[in-house]
Amino acid sequence: MPETEPRRPTPEGLTIRPEDTRDHAAVRDLVARAFVEEPTVADLVSLLRADSAAEAGHSYVAEIGGEVVGHVMMTRAWVDALPRLVRVLVLSPLSVAPEWQSRGIGGALVEFALAEASGGDHPLVFLEGSPLYYTRFGFERASRLGFVAPSRRIPDPAFQVVTLPAYEDWMTGALVYPDVFWRLDAVGLRGEQLADDEAALGE
């Protein structure tokens, strides 16, 4: 098995830009269709906006021919480092319309979001996701850098981080999610889902 999935070329005419208020309805529909078996994800996006947990300027849409076909959001969080709390970003969720999946759009959104974040003062971006997919973007196991997951229900290989130019070695500790994730029980996995995911990750 390869260490990462191969990169895919993006569709012709794909553009990525910051999300604005006119996109909200289209984004909610997109997220609902992308996560049809997880209906709370669409609610998560809306509540993060309302709660101001989504960092201003860190929510992006992918368009083809004026149609929104993908979306990614960066959410504020904190690392509980010994000297002080450190403001960081969590990449969640990443959504691509079902009819446009496996076309490189998700990868293009991740790369765009990380490039934008690298120009700011956030030192780290965390996520919960597949190492097979995300290591190509520079993500690695967060535990290897001394970070502690916000829940025991996050399999260690899935708890990932990428360091940005503002990162310093002392910025390590437990990741603290904003309240919205907990209200929707959108942290980690539960029961059989957790066991299945750990087995798939070889843990």
Per-residue pLDDT, averaged over 50-73, amounts to: 88
66 neighbors 55 (Cβ within 8 angstroms): no
Q: Report pTM.
A: 0.88
The yes-or-no verdict on residue 202 having pLDDT over 90 is no
Report whether the peptide linkage leading into residue 93 is cis, meaning its omega lies within 30 degrees of zero: yes
pLDDT of residue 49: 86
Q: Which residues contact 7 (CB under 8 A, 6 or more apart)?
A: 104, 107, 136
pLDDT 10s digits, 70-89:
999 999 999 999 999 999 99
pLDDT of residue 200: 52
The yes-or-no verdict on residue 65 having pLDDT over 60 is yes
The yes-or-no verdict on residue 108 having pLDDT over 60 is yes
3-state helix, strand, coil in the chain (%, to 5): 35, 30, 35
The yes-or-no verdict on residue 196 having pLDDT over 90 is no
